[in-house]
Amino acid sequence: MSRRRQSVTIRHVAADAGVSLQTVSRVINKEAGVRPEMQQRVQASIEKLGYVPSLAAQRMSGSRSYLILALNDRERTISDWQKREGGDWVGQMMLGGCTACAEHGYRMIVELIDTNSANIERELAGAIAALQPDGAILTPPHSQNQDILDYLHKAGIKIARIGSQTPGPGFCITMDDEGGARRATEHLLTLGHRRIGFIAGPEDYELSAWRVAGWKAAMAAAGLPTDDLLVTGDFTYASGLEAARNLLDHARPSAIIASNDQMAIASLAVVRGRGQSVPQDLSIVSFDDTPIIRYATPPITAVAQPIAAATEKAARLIIAACASNAKGDSSELEMANVASDLVLRESTRAVKN
Do residues 289 and 315 both lie within one domain? no
Are 218 and 185 within 8 A, CB to CB?
yes
Do residues 206 and 297 both lie within one domain? yes
Burial 288-319, CB ≥16 within 10 A → b, else e: bbbebbeebebebbbbbbbbbbbbbbbbbbbb
The answer to whether residue 349 is domain-embedded is no
**Rounded distance between C-alpha atoms, residue 293 and residue 262, angstroms:** 9
**Rounded distance between C-alpha atoms, residue 250 and residue 270, angstroms:** 14
pLDDT of the residue at 119: 75
Do residues 110 and 185 both lie within one domain? no
Do residues 31 and 104 both lie within one domain? no
Nearest Cα to Cα of residue 348 among 226, 230, 257: 257
The residues near 116 (Cβ < 8 Å, ≥ 6 apart) are: none
Do residues 312 and 171 both lie within one domain? yes
The answer to whether residue 321 is domain-embedded is yes
pLDDT of the residue at 3: 35
The answer to whether residue 351 is domain-embedded is no
Do residues 186 and 295 both lie within one domain? yes
Do residues 139 and 227 both lie within one domain? no
- CATH of residue 171: 3.40.50.2300
Respond yes or no on whether the N-terminal peptide bond of residue 141 is cis (omega within 30° of 0): yes
The answer to whether residue 218 is domain-embedded is yes
Spans of the chain below 70 pLDDT: 1-6, 29-32, 53-63, 85-86, 116-117, 325-333, 353
The answer to whether residue 1 is domain-embedded is no
Do residues 156 and 144 both lie within one domain? yes
- Residue 83 belongs to domain spanning: 67-175+308-340
Nearest Cα to Cα of residue 256 among 233, 286, 232: 286
Respond yes or no on whether the N-terminal peptide bond of residue 279 is cis (omega within 30° of 0): yes
Are 65 and 59 within 8 A, CB to CB?
yes
The answer to whether residue 345 is domain-embedded is no
Q: How far is CA 222 from CA 98, 182, 195, 261, in A?
A: 43, 12, 11, 26
Do residues 79 and 57 both lie within one domain? no
pTM to 2 decimal places: 0.79
- CATH of residue 50: 1.10.260.40
Total domain count for the chain? 3
- DSSP secondary-structure letter at 253? -
Do residues 111 and 165 both lie within one domain? yes
Residue 197 Rama label (left phi>0; alpha psi -120 to 50; beta): beta
Are 239 and 233 within 8 A, CB to CB?
yes
Do residues 156 and 15 both lie within one domain? no
Do residues 203 and 312 both lie within one domain? no
The answer to whether residue 94 is domain-embedded is yes
The answer to whether residue 88 is domain-embedded is yes
pLDDT of the residue at 104: 84
The residues near 137 (Cβ < 8 Å, ≥ 6 apart) are: 68, 69, 70, 71, 93, 97, 108, 160, 161, 162, 311, 314, 315, 318
